[in-house]
Amino acid sequence: MKLQDKVALIIGGSSGLGRASAESCAAEGARVVIADINERGAEEALAGIRAAGGTGIFVHTDATDDDAVKAAVDATVREYGKIDILVNSAGGRHANDAAGWHRAIDMYLKAPYYGCRHAIPEMEKTGGGSIINIASLSGVTGSMAKTPEGTGYPAAKHGVIGITKTLAIANGKKNIRVNAICPGYIKTELTRSLFEAADGGEQLINETLKVPMNRWGEAHEIGTVAAFLASDDASFITGQSIIVDGGFMAR
């Protein structure tokens, strides 16, 4: 119970890596607030958390709306009195066109900025906190985009790492740690078409990508890293991009 008495706001916590982060933080004792537009997914996640003895609430939040994110932070403080942990994990599909480029920037870059912007002042009030931004391997390498319109996602994820490092430097003396997780190929709704291919995605992992661990990652393997970064076990870790990819980047 390394997060006992901590309060965690998970923006984008209804599904995928955000949900896994909410579940892992709750399993370590944190009270969680899931901020998302997907109420059904959030309630399913919270039902599991509560069944395991945890505590949490849902706040309807559009992560791309600055005012809505501020309202989620305010609701967290109103309900639990503080915010110790912020996980920025909002995500969704976007078209591979000009509108989709702007959508990717809104979802994957502006949304984490909004979360950090409004959570940091609340963390200052209570003497510190931990922010975990969900980035991507696309934030540390180039991507396979073939057109300018396809660069929105990697551009945003590179930007998230820039935000992470800059805010870590700016807030280190305030005991606010800021880190990013860069997942590799993980089984989530966004990658379903890949791992539900006829071969279960094995050719992609083993032959095309040559992932050394020879398998897909699972969402909970990102969630446990988020909970670790939120805990005092990571008390001297800040400004880092933690790659969790089964060894892919080692090649």
Would you name the residues annotated as active-site residues?
Answer: 153
Nearest to 27 by CA among 228, 243, 237: 228
Q: Which amino acid makes up residue 11? A: I
The C-alpha atoms of residue 206 and residue 46 are separated, in whole angstroms, by 35
Helix and strand counts by DSSP (H, E) for the chain: 9, 9
Nearest to 230 by CA among 157, 133, 159: 133
Nearest to 109 by CA among 168, 178, 155: 155
Q: What are phi and psi of 137, to 5 degrees?
A: -60, -30
Element (H, E) at 244: strand 241-244
The C-alpha atoms of residue 130 and residue 112 are separated, in whole angstroms, by 14
Asked if 74 contacts 1 with a C-beta cutoff of 8 angstroms, the reply is no
The C-alpha atoms of residue 162 and residue 210 are separated, in whole angstroms, by 28
Please enumerate in sequence order all residues whose Cβ is within 8 A of that of 78, keeping only pairs 6 or more positions apart, or say none.
none
Cα 19–Cα 231–Cα 66 angle in degrees, nearest 5: 50
The C-alpha atoms of residue 121 and residue 240 are separated, in whole angstroms, by 21
